[in-house]
Amino acid sequence: MTDSQVIVEQILKSFDLKDFNSLAIPAKAEFFCSIDSVSQLQQALVYAKQQNLKITPISGGSNLVLAADVSGLVLHINLKGVSASTVEDNTVDISVAAGENWHDFVTLCLNNGWHGLENLALIPGNMGAAPIQNIGAYGVELSHFLQSVDVVNVETGQPEVLTGEDCDFGYRTSVFKQSALDKYVITGVNLRLSTQPVAHVNYPALAELIEGHKPTPKIIFDSVCQIRRSKLPDPKEIPNVGSFFKNPIVSKQQADQLIRTYPEIPTFSVEGGLTKLAAAWLIERCGFKGKRQGKVGVHHKQALVLVNFEGNGEDVLLLAEKIKTQVAEKFAVVLEVEPRIYGHTQ
């Protein structure tokens, strides 16, 4: 039997994706296949091309909104494996397959004395999605540690390696969301971590909690977990995709104008003389925090998190649109949705 026949036999039809997206939206994949190896991925790409099927790679499903059923072939990237090698004193290079769970990996690093990722504990999702949105939290982002990303080119089916520079990382963005959108399937991520403790504890909520303690890796890891658990809902209990919008970045002039009207507005200076605003604050000030709209709502402890109580993608997007409209009307600030939306244009 050829590989491509093996793939055909593994493809499921009209497959419910509810358990494969952290918003628990009950949308269906026209075709679905679990991918456990790079060669299987290559075969699936050949098959999709032959059958003229659009492919949609998903992994942990924690940063996507299924607006409708997904046509074509959904590939569940389930590649596993972690390998580490010490290249120089004080650093360790680690290759992680795309289907490894992010938080389990951060925990493994802590237990092995590989440091730097403690601030990124408890972020939902798998490794393969992490570079796409350059995951970040509590003053640290993935791009600080990323050496390269292993991909398979969707068009050619060939493996390629993108350097950190190729990835063109920014705040919650990368080449995978911009010029290389849909061009590659990420199969692995290569990171360089430190074998010496690293402490980034300037983020106010973290600094406050750690005050008076030595900021050891374990204390940082535990404190980040504690902060996240205190305000971010566990997607397994209350379906969500974390922050639904990016924190908007505006000109200093616009920020100054907002400060004159709302002296208490939180603002953060960022590169290029620009100012980052807290989307959660803008949304809360529009009265959405803890509010429910039918089968969806805004989390009562973090206004940037939309939660799903058995609604569908359309319900979530209608609420998001309402929030965007009211924030634009009140503050003249445009909010940008952070997760990727699938299904509505397919």
Please identify every residue annotated as catalytic.
172, 243, 338
The least distance separating ligand EPU from the CB of residue 163, rounded to whole angstroms, comes to: 24
- Of 281, 288, 331, 342, the residue at the interface with ligand EPU (CB under 6 A) is 281
Beta strands in 119-251 (DSSP E): 136-137, 140-141, 146-153, 159-163, 184-194, 240-243, 249-250
The least distance separating ligand EPU from the CB of residue 6, rounded to whole angstroms, comes to: 37
Residues in 163-222 that interact with ligand EPU by CB under 6 A: 203, 205
Residue holding tokens 């805004």?
A: 298
- Of 40, 43, 302, 312, the residue at the interface with ligand EPU (CB under 6 A) is 302
Stretch in the footprint of ligand EPU (CB under 6 A) among 6-14, 148-156, 188-196, 297-305: 297-305
The least distance separating ligand EPU from the CB of residue 101, rounded to whole angstroms, comes to: 16
* Local structure of 119: helix, strand or coil: helix
Q: Is position 287 an interface residue for ligand EPU (rule: CB under 6 A)?
A: no
Is residue 151 a contact partner of residue 186, using CB atoms and an 8 Å limit? Answer: yes
Which C-beta is closer to ligand EPU: that of 162 or that of 298? 298
Which C-beta is closer to ligand EPU: that of 203 or that of 262? 203
| C-alpha of 196 from chain center | 27
DSSP 8-state assignment for residue 319: H
Q: Is position 137 an interface residue for ligand EPU (rule: CB under 6 A)?
A: yes
The least distance separating ligand EPU from the CB of residue 304, rounded to whole angstroms, comes to: 5
- For the stretch 317-332, what's the b/e string if a residue is b when 16 or more beta carbons lie within 10 angstroms of its beta carbon? bebbeebbebbeeebe
Q: What count of other Cβ atoms lies within 10 Å of the Cβ of residue 158?
A: 10
Q: Is position 235 an interface residue for ligand EPU (rule: CB under 6 A)?
A: no
Q: Is position 18 an interface residue for ligand EPU (rule: CB under 6 A)?
A: no
- Cα–Cα distance for residue pair 216/210, rounded to 1 Å: 10
Stretch in the footprint of ligand EPU (CB under 6 A) among 9-17, 41-49, 241-249, 320-328: 241-249
- Of 166, 168, 284, 314, the residue at the interface with ligand EPU (CB under 6 A) is 284
* Local structure of 321: helix, strand or coil: helix
Q: Is position 266 an interface residue for ligand EPU (rule: CB under 6 A)?
A: yes
Is residue 308 a contact partner of residue 239, using CB atoms and an 8 Å limit? Answer: yes
- Of 28, 76, 115, 289, the residue at the interface with ligand EPU (CB under 6 A) is 289
Q: Is position 255 an interface residue for ligand EPU (rule: CB under 6 A)?
A: no
Dihedral angle, C-alpha 124, 240, 132, 79, nearest 10 °: 50
Which C-beta is closer to ligand EPU: that of 2 or that of 202? 202
Q: Is position 243 an interface residue for ligand EPU (rule: CB under 6 A)?
A: yes
Q: How many residues can be counted in the chain?
A: 346
- Cα–Cα distance for residue pair 312/342, rounded to 1 Å: 13
Which C-beta is closer to ligand EPU: that of 25 or that of 44? 25
- Cα–Cα distance for residue pair 312/63, rounded to 1 Å: 15
Is residue 246 a contact partner of residue 336, using CB atoms and an 8 Å limit? Answer: yes
The least distance separating ligand EPU from the CB of residue 272, rounded to whole angstroms, comes to: 17
Which C-beta is closer to ligand EPU: that of 15 or that of 281? 281
Residue holding tokens 């393969």?
A: 128
* Local structure of 216: helix, strand or coil: coil
- Token reading at 64: 């996507």
Which C-beta is closer to ligand EPU: that of 137 or that of 198? 137
Interaction site with ligand EPU (CB under 6 A): 137-138, 203, 205, 232, 242-243, 246-247, 266, 278, 280-281, 284, 289, 302-304, 338
